[in-house]
Amino acid sequence: MERQMFFRLVLALMLPVAGCKMEQAGPAPDYGSGCIVVDDFETYTADSPMKIFETWIDGFGYTEPPPGKPGNVSGATVGYLDKPFLERTIVHGGSQSMPFRYKNTVLPFYSEIERQWAVPQDWATSGTRVLGLWVYGDPCNVPGPLYVALQDASGATSVVNHPDPNAVCAGCWNKWSIELSKFVGIHPVAVSKICIGVGDRRGLGRSVGGEGMLFIDDIELSRR
Ligand SMILES: [Ca+2]
């Protein structure tokens, strides 16, 4: 019940802030322009196997249906406690976005959500060179380090940090575009996992970013 109240409070606080360039909820990504959707969060439902936290793994994982899946023991929570688990008011495209609550005030002092593919993904196909994702940070959050990590089929991992620590508290939708070449050492033709996180994933034993709430939508690949 405590989590439910927290999320309702967050929603109440998420009004547009002055001076913020607002991005209204828009149409689905333009498939005809060369964009390839990685995840727009429109296909998730309240039922297994399409619950959002069965695909995007957080710190806690899930137990139903058996055998479930363990979490990554970070401070991240994907989705709401209540069905349908997705956010349906604060969305960028379509009618759903992914809630991502983070808590960096306890061990391991970072929060990370991850999606893994059994078959590695070719993200360089059709000349795509840029990974884009839309992020809405609760304006009540404190500035903190937002990052994306990719892992390829060889097991190599590379992390790109957002250049602006205020990205997690902007109070509006902002697109973060990352050239795939920034993920040094990763083969973009064989991506096996994407992680989105807040904090210092190196686990240096220090808390950064506090705790807060983000929404993620329209993760896509484009040519530029
Ligand atoms: Ca969406």
pLDDT digits (tens, 9 = 90+) for 53-106: 999 999 999 999 999 999 999 999 999 999 999 999 999 999 999 999 999 999
Q: Could you say which architecture CATH assigns to the domain 2-13+35-222?
A: Sandwich (2.60)
Confidence of residue 159 (pLDDT cuts 50, 70, 90): very high
- Degrees to nearest 5, angle at CA 117 with 195 and 168: 20
User: How far apart are alpha carbons 219 and 127 in whole angstroms?
Assistant: 17
Q: pTM for the whole thing?
A: 0.86
Whether a cis peptide bond, with omega within 30° of 0, leads into 67 is yes
Cα of 26 vs centre of ligand 1, distance in Å, is 9
3: helix, strand or coil: helix
Cα of 96 vs centre of ligand 1, distance in Å, is 4
The structural domains of the chain, with segments of one domain joined by +, span 2-13+35-222
pLDDT at 202: 80
Cα of 94 vs centre of ligand 1, distance in Å, is 5
Cα of 134 vs centre of ligand 1, distance in Å, is 10
